Amino acid sequence: VTHWHSPKFHAYFPTANSYPAIVADMLSGAIACIGFTWIASPACTELEVAMMDWLGKMLDLPSDFLASSGGKGGGVIQGTASESTLVALLGAKAKKLQEVKAEHPEWDEHTVIGKLVGYCSDQAHSSVERAGLLGGIKLRSVKSENNRLRGDALEKAIEKDLADGLIPFYAVVTLGTTNSCAFDRLDECGVVGNKHNVWIHVDAAYAGSAFICPEYRHYMKGMERADSFNFNPHKWMLVNFDCSAMWLKDPSWVVNAFNVDPLYLKHDMQGSAPDYRHWQIPLGRRFRALKLWFVLRLYGVENLQAHIRRHCNFAKQFGDLCVADSRFELAAEVNMGLVCFRLKGNNERNEALLKRINGRGNIHMVPAKINDVYFLR
């Protein structure tokens, strides 16, 4: 086993672990229900609705996303951020198809799908490109500025595609990129997305947990313009894998896109609570809300905030050590718990350094490269 919870494990992004989440997963395993519809397990569905509301309030998400606001919005627990990106893309695709077909009834579906184009920054996670492949649409990688996607670059890309007769429909804004934990300018990209009727999906897989701390919420500025938002409590919020929290302002696009209704899945109470099978790709689903409930009850908001702040302070301390040592330099601003650093000089020196560190079998790290500059992260 590679010990992800060893204090010497510094590869990738962290994955969460805590005893309340482990106990909740054991209970989920023991109950062993499959909550694909409300009737298939009312508690599984209703606890998920309640937990996604608690969590949304902890992040101070716009109320449009919350079921308790009484509007259309609501949350769902997906397995991973990759699934959330794909689900949002498929919802956006269904929405645009319906809009375009209403305007051009003479166009067939293949013609419209061939014209659809989505956007993300050149720093977006590989799962975004993959969602484009799985969703069967073109996805444009837009050049970032200082590792962040800016509104004017997104706007230029959209306008060029419109001029070429294409149909922009979806854009992923990353808050906390994998390479360097950079934050796309949601405040700018949201305005552009709304102007061009392009679905904005926010991928905050790692950094989203930090939004439980008010001092980091400035990165969320513009969230009211997004259509869907996702982060992974299973990365940084003490909830064991898998627990990827996703909110949709109008889930009906996703629900309608995925709605196949055989008789054996229908029930008398349809419409009174979400049937989560329509919000996700698989039919079956585990009782994942339990681990969110146990973690939130056992630790409480203040302890979770302290956990995040402690990690951010470790990163600051390590970043300061790098700056104080004349052999090293930072490859990017220190954001959240991530430090991107390198030996001054060429890439080969840094590749050799990482090889030596990992070769010793004591500390484990992974590298990244931005603009051909190789660094350790």
User: Could you tell me the two tokens for 357?
Assistant: 């560190």
CA distances from 76 to 89, 182, 235 (A): 16, 26, 17
Considering only 203, 227, 250, 275, the residue that binds ligand PLP (CB under 6 A) is 203
User: Does residue 86 belong to the site contacting ligand PLP (CB under 6 A)?
Assistant: no
Selected catalytic residue, list 125, 234, 278, 307:
125
Q: Point out which span in 38-46, 136-144, 158-166, 203-211 binds ligand PLP (CB under 6 A).
A: 203-211
Nearer to ligand PLP, 100 or 212 (CB): 212
User: Does residue 292 belong to the site contacting ligand PLP (CB under 6 A)?
Assistant: no
User: Could you tell me the two tokens for 248?
Assistant: 């949709």
Of the candidates 173, 136, 135, 133, which has an alpha carbon nearest to the alpha carbon of residue 151? Answer: 173
User: Does residue 338 belong to the site contacting ligand PLP (CB under 6 A)?
Assistant: no
From CA 167, how far away is CA 161, in angstroms rounded? 7
Nearer to ligand PLP, 82 or 305 (CB): 82
Is-catalytic flag, 125? yes
In the numeric block, the tokens 């951020």 are attached to 81
* Beta-bridge mates of residue 117: 138, 168
User: Does residue 82 belong to the site contacting ligand PLP (CB under 6 A)?
Assistant: yes
Q: Is 74 helix (H, G, I), strand (E, B) or coil?
A: strand
First to last CA, the chain: 22
Name the minimum Å distance from CB 268 to ligand PLP: 35
Here's the x/- map for ligand PLP, 163-202, by CB under 6 A: it reads as -----------x-xxx------------------------
Name the minimum Å distance from CB 204 to ligand PLP: 7
From CA 234, how far away is CA 286, in angstroms rounded? 15
Considering only 13, 36, 231, 247, the residue that binds ligand PLP (CB under 6 A) is 13
Q: Are 316 and 39 contacting, i.e. CB atoms less than 8 angstroms apart?
A: no
Helix count (H) and strand count (E) of the chain?
A: 11, 11
User: Could you tell me the two tokens for 8?
Assistant: 């010497």
Nearer to ligand PLP, 155 or 203 (CB): 203
User: Does residue 244 belong to the site contacting ligand PLP (CB under 6 A)?
Assistant: yes
The residues annotated with a catalytic role in the active site are 125
Which residues in this chain contact ligand PLP in the complex, by CB under 6 A?
13, 80-82, 125, 127, 174, 176-178, 203, 205-206, 232, 244
